[in-house]
Chain A
Amino acid sequence: MSPGYDYPNAPNQKVFMQRGQMIAKFEELLALPDRKDWNFIDSPLFLDFLQGKVAMQCTAWGNPCRTVMGWQRPCYLMNEGYVPTFKQLMEETEWDRYGYGRDARCTNCMAHCGYEATAVEATLKNPVHGVRAGMAALLGKQAS
Chain B
Amino acid sequence: MNVLFVFPSEREASVANFRRAPLVCDSGTLAGDVVAAELSESRPDLVLLSGFCGSLDPSLKPGSLILGRQVIAPGEDVIDPDRLMVEEIRSGLRASGLPFVYSRLLTVPAPAATRAAKRELWNEFGAGGVDMETYWVAEACRKARVNWIAVRAVLDTSSQALPRSLHAWERPGDEALTAAGAIRHPAEWPAYVRLASQYRAARRSLAAALPHVVRAVRDAKTVETLELV
CA distance A101 to B59 in the complex (A): 12
A55 near B100 with CB under 8 A, answer no
**Contacting residues, chain B, for A97 (C-beta < 8 A):** 101-102
Within 8 A of A (CB), among B105-149: 118-119, 122-128
Cross-interface CB contact of B123 among A55, A57, A118, cutoff 8 Å: A55
| Residue A80 CB within 8 A of the other chain | no
CA distance A94 to B118 in the complex (A): 26
A101 and B126 contact, Cβ closer than 8 Å, known pairs A56-B58, A57-B59: yes
CA distance A76 to B42 in the complex (A): 49
B118 touches A55 (CB 8 A): yes
Chain B nearest CB, measured from A124 CB (Å): 15
Q: Which residue of B lies closest to A53 (CB)?
A: B119
Residues of the A chain whose Cβ atoms lie less than 8 Å from the Cβ of B212: none
Q: Which residues of A contact B59 (CB under 8 A)?
A: 57, 99, 118
Task: Indicate if the CB atoms of A96 and B126 lie closer than 8 Å.
Answer: no
Q: How large is the interface on A (under 10, 10 to 19, 20 to 34, 35 or more residues)?
A: 10 to 19
Closest to B104 in A: A101
Once A52-B123, A107-B126 are accepted as A-B contacts, the answer to whether A94 and B94 lie under 8 Å apart by CB is: yes
B119, closest chain A residue (CB): A55
Determine whether the beta carbon of A20 is less than 8 Å from that of B69.
no
The interface residues of chain A lying within 8 Å CB-to-CB of B158 are 55
CB of B150 closer than 8 Å to a CB of A: no
Kindly state the separation between the CA atoms of A23 and B126 in the bound complex, as whole angstroms: 14
Residue A14, interface by CB 8 Å: no
Q: Are A100 and B126 in contact (CB under 8 A)?
A: yes
- The closest CB in chain B to the CB of A95 belongs to B101
7 smallest A-B Cβ distances: which pairs?
A57-B59, A101-B126, A101-B103, A55-B119, A101-B104, A55-B122, A96-B101
Given A94-B94, A101-B128, 14 new contacts (CB under 8 A)? A19-B123, A20-B123, A55-B119, A55-B158, A56-B58, A96-B101, A97-B102, A99-B103, A100-B122, A101-B57, A101-B103, A101-B122, A102-B69, A102-B104
Pairs A–B under 8 Å by Cβ, sample size 12: A19-B123, A52-B123, A55-B118, A55-B123, A56-B58, A57-B57, A97-B101, A99-B101, A100-B126, A102-B101, A102-B102, A102-B104
